[in-house]
Amino acid sequence: MKVQDFKTFIELQALQPFTNKNHTNMPSSQSIFQDMLSELVSGDTLDGASQRLGSLLSTVETEANSILQSRDAASMVPNTPVSPAPAGREMSETGSNYDEIISQAATLYKLPEKLIKSVIKQESNFDPKAVSYAGAAGLMQLMPATARSLGVNDATDPEQNIMGGSKYLSQMMARYDGNIQLALAAYNAGPGNVDKYNGIPPFKETKNYVQSVYGTFLS
């Protein structure tokens, strides 16, 4: 065995922990090293040791290239940010974080607290950032024009939204003499349609809305 080959092999020994760490199928360089020393001590020919060294050099080179390629590929994978959970989703069942605001609105506008909660659950499932395809926003899904008429500057603000939506709901309750189902129909389809059809409009969406909200209120 040439001195240079033996020097190279010693250097490879230092790399052994890195190559064998992730590639369990790679032959152990420590085992080969021990075999080569045994051959040298026993006086066997140096050709066998050289052949073993050549085999190890080839294997290590292949493994090293594989590791480098894997690292290069990994470095090219973009970091994907994790989107935070939408605000309000964690209280979709009860909306307990809004109890105080709802209680204040119920007292101010003389509405049952449960009715306000039932409307909020149906409209946004207690998500203050919810926005419909039509542009209705916030917990009680106020349309921009309606929000402005109610003095709501930011429909995504829970307090403004609940106060504004409760005010509008109380107006509908007063308009229809406390009839909750008609008030809900007007909240969904507008009082003009309720007046036009002299009752709950024959719209599938409005019928389902009234049934769902009223059912939640009575439960």
Q: Which one from 39, 61, 63, 123 is the annotated catalytic residue?
A: 123
Is 35 inside any structural domain? Answer: no
Question: Is 61 known to be catalytic?
Answer: no
Is 56 inside any structural domain? Answer: no
Query: What is the domain-level CATH number for residue 166?
Result: 1.10.530.10
Domain count, the chain: 1
Domain housing 106: 98-218
Is 22 inside any structural domain? Answer: no
Is 85 inside any structural domain? Answer: no
Is 202 inside any structural domain? Answer: yes
Distance CA 131, CA 173 (A): 25
Hey, what amino acid is at 161?
A: N
Is 148 inside any structural domain? Answer: yes
Q: Positive or negative, the Cα torsion across 101, 104, 110, 115?
A: positive
Residue with token string 């007292």: 107
**One pLDDT digit (tens) per residue for the chain, 219 residues:** 444 555 554 554 554 554 444 444 444 445 544 554 455 445 444 455 455 545 544 554 555 455 445 444 443 333 333 333 344 334 445 567 999 999 999 999 999 999 999 999 999 999 999 999 999 999 999 999 999 999 999 999 999 999 999 999 999 999 999 999 999 999 999 999 999 999 999 999 999 999 999 999 999
Task: Please count the other Cβ atoms lying within 10 Å of the Cβ belonging to residue 131.
Answer: 14
Is 200 inside any structural domain? Answer: yes
- pTM for the complete prediction? 0.59
